[in-house]
């Protein structure tokens, strides 16, 4: 069919504009950005919680998976941390940050496929 349509009385009618205004496109862009930001923040929070879980699992492992062993190692660590001088504390905290970052990276790598699905444009074309 050609670009010019006819009404019921044989007159030529200009094609109807089906595009939306810039406000609709801006609103859709804001909605899509908000959706991705919420999904990404949820992914980051779950990855951080899984990282903390791995660190707790490490302390449980060195305590033979018993509550008394776990709390004994945590108490020992706390006592030695409080008794240490400032240089050793800062060195230890630097090591904790490095181990935490590596653990976070490994957990994030394990959850990478989910991140790709979050960032992929899967909503399709806008309708109507």
Q: Provide the residue ranges of all domains of the chain, joining segments of one domain with +.
A: 42-122
The rounded percent of the chain whose pLDDT value lies above 90 is 62
Element (H, E) at 114: helix 112-119
pLDDT per residue over 9-54, tens digit each? 666 666 555 556 778 888 888 988 999 899 999 999 999 999 999 9
CB-hemisphere CA count at 13 Å for 127? 2
Q: Given CA atoms 75, 80, 85, 88 in this order, what sign does their dihedral have?
A: negative
pTM: 0.70
pLDDT at 64 over 70: yes
Relative to beta strand 12-13, strand 5-6 is: antiparallel
* Confidence grade of residue 5 (pLDDT, cut at 50, 70, 90): low
């Amino acid at each position: 069919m050609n670009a010019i349509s006819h009404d019921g009385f044989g007159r030529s009618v200009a094609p109807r504009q089906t595009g939306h205004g810039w406000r609709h496109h801006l609103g859709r862009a804001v909605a899509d950005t908000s959706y991705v930001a919420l999904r990404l923040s949820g992914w980051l929070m779950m990855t951080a919680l899984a990282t903390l879980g791995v660190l707790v699992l490490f302390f449980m492992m060195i305590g033979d998976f018993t509550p008394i062993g776990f709390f004994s190692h945590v108490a020992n660590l706390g006592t030695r941390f409080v008794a240490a001088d400032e240089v050793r504390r800062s060195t230890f905290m630097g090591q904790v940050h490095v181990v935490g970052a590596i653990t976070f990276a490994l957990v994030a790598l394990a959850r990478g496929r989910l991140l790709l699905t979050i960032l992929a444009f899967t909503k399709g074309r806008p309708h109507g």
